[in-house]
Amino acid sequence: MAPSKNTEIEKPAPLPITVSKPTPYTFDLGLLLALDPNPLVLTESSNLEQDLANTARDGAQALLNQLLSTCPIASTPSGVLLSLPAIETPLPREKPLPPPKAQTTWQKFAAKKGIKPKTAEEKKKLVYDEATGEWVPKWGYKGKNKAGEQDWIVEVDEKKERERREKHGENAERQGDGRRERKEKIRRNERMQRANERKAGKGKR
């Protein structure tokens, strides 16, 4: 016969929230890890799955109790947050440490000369031009490095003027000297870069 509607379904008794073991658990809360040093107790061979489930439940309950009793809990607009401590158990790497990366030619040169890497402020592409009151690029089109190239009146350095006349002649125009110097620096840097690439290629062989 089908059970009547008045028959009440028996609910399982609530399990205890305290876990008692002969040897206490050890915890690594940063990894949400609970270690049970006690031997596994099995009632019957046919009841293996239930015994394993009970043991796992006890471990989870003990871990939850430890978290709620030792970790700080805060209420935020996103919900209740529990802050975990630092990890204590060292975990092995999946793969070995990579070998140290060989220094490039520039890194060797910088270390030898004591050249430090640029800061975040120095790496910014824009600089403030006090003459115009605007932010301009350091290099390239309308770059700060081209300042003074189109000036009609420039201050003459006597030493540089003598060197300029010896190199370009007495009738050479001063207009464009800044641009020529900038272009010469670019060509010199390109030659040095090609030389460094050739040296690096020989080193790899």
Model confidence pLDDT, tens digit, residues 32-83 = 999 999 998 888 888 899 999 999 999 999 999 999 999 999 998 888 999 9
Backbone angles phi and psi of 131, in degrees to 5: -70, -40
Return the C-alpha torsion angle 136, 138, 144, 145, nearest 10.
-160
pLDDT tens by residue, 87-132: 998 888 888 888 988 888 888 888 888 888 877 776 677 777 777 7
The whole-model pTM stands at 0.42
Q: What angle do CA 120, 190, 151 make, to 5 degrees?
A: 75
Q: What is the token pair recorded at 196?
A: 């460094």
